Amino acid sequence: MKIPEVLLVEVEHAPGSLAKMLTAVGECGVTVEGLQAQSRTQSLTLWELTLSLPEGDHSVYMDAINAVDCAHVVGTSDRVFTRHEGGKIHTRSRMSIDSLSKLRDVYTPGVARVCRAIEQDPSLANRYTNLPRTVAIVTNGTAVLGLGDIGPLAGLPVMEGKAALFQTLAGLSGVPILIESHDPKVLIETVANIAPSFGAIQLEDIAAPACFEVEEALQARLDIPVLHDDQHGTAVVALAGVLSGMREVGMDPRKARIGQVGLGAAGIGIGKLLTAYGVTNLIGTDLSEGALAHYESFGGKRDSLEGVMANADVIIATTGVRGLIKPEWVRPGQVVFALSNPDPEIEPIVALKAGARFAADGKNINNVLGFPGLFAGALNAEAKRFTPEMLIAAAETISAQARDGRLVPGPLKVSVHSAITQAVADAAMASNA
C-alpha cells in the first residue's frame, strides 16, 4: 500500500536546482503528489514535498534527494496528523442561547410543548428537530479503504471524514456510529434500535457478504433511506464515468461490453446499477465462487481475468489488489477504471501508455461525488428508500456536470452536489420512493 509522506526539503534558490531534486525523486520511481514552497531566504527555498510511497523504510528516497548537490532533506511534516488533531467534526448549536427567555424556550419549560406536539403527531419531528438533516454513518470497520479489517475505532477517522463532507457539500449532519461486531444480526439489531435518532442510514466499510445481508434487512425493516455507500455510492460514480466515457467515444453505454474485475461489495453494486440502467453485456471475474454466483443471479456472465480484459470495451476494477492488471492486457481504445483505493489495479498513466482511450483511478472516480447529494435528495423528498431511479438520476447528473472531456466534475464544487440533490429528489418523488 502507498501512503503519503511529506518531506521538508531545502533546495538552493537557483535555476535548475528544483528540477534536479525532482529528477532524483522520479528516478526512484516515486510519484510526487504535491509540492509547495514554505519559506525562502536569499539562497534557499524550503519545499513541502508530498510523495506517494510504499510502507516501509523511506531512507532510500531521502538518500536520493540528499545525493543531489543542491538539495537536502531537513525533516518530515506531520500535516496529515495535524489536520486530524482533535478530530474533524463537532456538534454545535444552530442558535445562540444568550437570554433566559431563549433558554426557557429551547429547554425547560418551553420544550415540553414541542415534545407533546410530536407525541400527538410524529411527523412534526421533521419540522421541529434536526432529524431530516441527520445521517448515521455506521461501520464495524471490517473493510476500511484498502486497509481491510482494522476494526471500528481505527476506522473512525474515515467516518469523521464522511461526516465533514456531508456538512461541507450538502449541509447534513453526519454522526459516526461504531459497532464492535462481525455478526450481521448484531449490526441489524443495533442499527434498527437507534434508527429513530436519524433521518437516514449510511452503511460504510462493512465487508461482503455481510454487507448485503445487513443492507437488505434494514431496508425491509426501516421506513427511512438506507444505503451501503461502498456498493451504491461507488456504483453511481462508476456509472457516471461510464456514461461520460461512452459519450466521448460515441458508443451507446447500454450496448457496450463492460468487464468487471472484482465482485465484492463495490463490484456487485456497480453490476446491479449497470443492469438497472440497461446494460446487457456484463462479464466479470472474481476468486470467490459465491461472488460469481451472485453476479450471475442478475445477468452477469463469468470469465477469467484475461478473458475480461480481452473482450470488454470498458474495464471496472474493484479488487483492492495493487498492480493486478498488466499493461499488456490493455487493448487499444479501452476505457479503464481501476477504482481500488489507495492503490489502483493499474496506474492511469500506465493504462494510457498501453493504449487505453480513457483511464482513471479511485482518486478521480470516487464516491465523494455521490453520497452527499444522494442523501440530501432523499431527505429533501422525504423518501423512505433509495430506488434505482434515484441512483441513475445521480449518475446522469454527475456525468452531465463534467466539462472539457473529463469523465466526472471536481468533487468540491458545491453546485455539482446541489444539482445531484435536486435530481435525486425529483427522481424520488417520481418513483414514489
Which residues are catalytically annotated?
107, 162
Asked if the peptide bond before residue 225 counts as cis, ω within 30 degrees of 0, the response is no
CA angle 203, 207, 211 (to 5 degrees): 50
Roughly how many angstroms between the first and final C-alpha of the chain, as a whole number? 40
Are the beta carbons of 51 and 32 closer than 8 angstroms? yes
Chain position carrying cell 463469468: 302
DSSP code, position 131 = G
CA angle 24, 27, 33 (to 5 degrees): 80
Q: Which residues pair with 285 in a beta bridge?
A: 261
Beta strands in 104-217 (DSSP E): 134-139, 173-178, 200-203
Which value, to the nearest 10 degrees, does the dihedral of the CA atoms of residues 232, 235, 240, 241 take?
Answer: 150
* Secondary structure (DSSP) of 333-400: T-EEEE--SSS-SS-HHHHHHTT-SEEEETTTS-GGGTHHHHHHHHHHTT-SS--HHHHHHHHHHHHH
Task: Report the C-alpha gap between 120 and 409 in whole angstroms.
Answer: 46
Amino acid residing at 59: S
- C-alpha pair distances (Å), 79 with each of 63, 153, 422: 22, 21, 36
Other beta carbons within 10 angstroms of residue 231's beta carbon come to 26
Task: Report the C-alpha gap between 387 and 367 in whole angstroms.
Answer: 17
CA-closest candidate to residue 243, choices 355, 408, 425, 423? 408
Task: Report the C-alpha gap between 343 and 145 in whole angstroms.
Answer: 10
| Contacts (Cβ under 8 Å, ≥6 apart) of 144 | 150, 154, 155, 158, 205
